[in-house]
Every structure is written in structure tokens, then in C-alpha cells.
């Protein structure tokens, strides 16, 4: 492959496209409210393993994930909170009370349930949904498949549940 000459029109077009993409990526986060404050997270809600909506995470995982639709809430600060349950092939069950901030693509774990009671996280922190050091595939799948619509919460909690239950090729009005 020959390198592009500085005066090559294709190179100029390529540079323009890259600059536009960088501008759009920067613009997405420049509209964020610098004074945004998260509301205090409510107490972790009760959940039921009998009403879980299964989440497609990874084909070769030893864990099966599901979200209890009755626990999904959208608070005025724009955070979508929910309980997700992980079941292992051996029968072990854990649950997480999490929040997703669609506008920034971040997730936070507020509490863990390992059997009897909720254990509140000490100093929970927001982290990227696509954090390479601590991947959260189930949270990313939830954001992409119903909780978020781009950088916004996906309308009402009822709409979120409808989209989570819908086959992937019919979500978000696709035909």
C-alpha cells in the first residue's frame, strides 16, 4: 500500500472525516451540566428471581444474568437504577443494585446481595461501562438493549422493560 501524498484529495477527505468525528465526540460530553449532582440512591429494592428478564451477556459465561423489571427506576437526576441477578451453573446467586448514567456511559454499584441481606458499597464510584480493567458486560448490555437510548435514558421505565423483553432486531422501533 502506498502512503497518501499530502495533496491527495482522499487524504484531505479522510482528515476532514476524522476531525468531524472528533468534534462530535467532544460535543457529546461538552453539553454535560458541570453542576450535576446525583440524588441519594434509594434503599435497594426487594427483588424476585421469578420475574427476571434474561440479559444476553456472553455465550461462554458460567453466569446467567437477569434484571427484575419491578426494580427499574428513573430518578430526576437522570440515573436509571435496577437490580440485576447473576446465577451460576452451580446454583449460586448474587444480586447487584446498580445505576447507569446514560449521558456519560457510566455505571455505579450501590449494594451487593449474596444471600440474606444487602451489603451497601462503601464509597461507590462511577466507572465507564466499557472500563477495560473492570468490565461490566451485563451493565453494558442493559444500557444498549433497553435502559438507554444513545446518551439518554430510554423514555419511561415501561419503555425500558418493553425494549429489554423485545427480540434484539425489533428494539427501538426497528423493523
Mean pLDDT of the 104-108 span: 96
Distance CA 75, CA 79 (A): 6
Mean pLDDT of the 91-95 span: 92
User: 81 forms bridges with which residues in the sheet?
Assistant: 73, 99
Mean pLDDT of the 90-117 span: 94
Quick: pLDDT tens for 128-153: 999 888 888 999 999 999 999 999 99
Task: Give residue 67's pLDDT band: very low, low, confident or very high (50, 70, 90).
Answer: very high
Q: What is the mean pLDDT of the chain?
A: 82
Distance CA 48, CA 95 (A): 10
Is residue 8 predicted with pLDDT exceeding 70? no
Residues ≥6 apart with Cβ < 8 Å to 67 = 52, 53, 55, 82, 83, 84, 85, 142, 164
Q: Compute CA 112 distance to the chain's CA centroid, rounded to the nearest angstrom.
A: 17
| pTM reported for the whole predicted model | 0.77
Amino acid at each position: 500500500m502506498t502512503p497518501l501524498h499530502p495533496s491527495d484529495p482522499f487524504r484531505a477527505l479522510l482528515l476532514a472525516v476524522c476531525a468531524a468525528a472528533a468534534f462530535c465526540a467532544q460535543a457529546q460530553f461538552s453539553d454535560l451540566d458541570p453542576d450535576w449532582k446525583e440524588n441519594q440512591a434509594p434503599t435497594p429494592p426487594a427483588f424476585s428471581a421469578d420475574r427476571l428478564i434474561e440479559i444476553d451477556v456472553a455465550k461462554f459465561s458460567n453466569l446467567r444474568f437477569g434484571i427484575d423489571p419491578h426494580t427499574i427506576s428513573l430518578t430526576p437526576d437522570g440515573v436509571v437504577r435496577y437490580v440485576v441477578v447473576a446465577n451460576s451453573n452451580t446454583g449460586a446467586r448474587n444480586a447487584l443494585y446498580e445505576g447507569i448514567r446514560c449521558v456519560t456511559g457510566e455505571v455505579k454499584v450501590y449494594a451487593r446481595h449474596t444471600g440474606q441481606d444487602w451489603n451497601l458499597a462503601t464509597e461507590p464510584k462511577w466507572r465507564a461501562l466499557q472500563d477495560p480493567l473492570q468490565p461490566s458486560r451485563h451493565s453494558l448490555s442493559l444500557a444498549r438493549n433497553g435502559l438507554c437510548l444513545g446518551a439518554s435514558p430510554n423514555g419511561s421505565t415501561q419503555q425500558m422493560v418493553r425494549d429489554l423483553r423485545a427480540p434484539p432486531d425489533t428494539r427501538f422501533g426497528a423493523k
